[in-house]
Amino acid sequence: MSSDPKSPKISRDHFSVVPLNDKSDKKYWQSRTAEERLEHLQFLRRLNYGDSAAGRMMKVFEVVKMKSYIRGK
């Protein structure tokens, strides 16, 4: 990947499959500050969606009426 955070690029020369529930990953991200986690989130957004994703994240709320759930019925 490019070291320039403004234009991240993926090297498509290698491919690997890894588990997504690695406890060390969770521990690592819990040890980071909220600011560091958000910065990395923005980096991943730019990596996947390009520079157009560099703007602010949209706030979208949706109210959904759900049927009540009754156990055993």
* Local confidence pLDDT in tens for the 73 residues of the chain: 445 556 677 777 888 888 888 888 899 999 999 999 999 988 888 888 877 766 666 677 788 787 776 665 5
Contacts of residue 45, defined as CB under 8 A and 6 or more positions apart, other chains included, come to: 53, 54, 57
Q: Model pTM? A: 0.53
Question: H or E element: which one contains 44?
Answer: helix 34-49
Tell me the two tokens of residue 20. 């997504």
pLDDT value for 27: 93
Judge contact between 29 and 37, C-beta under 8 A: yes
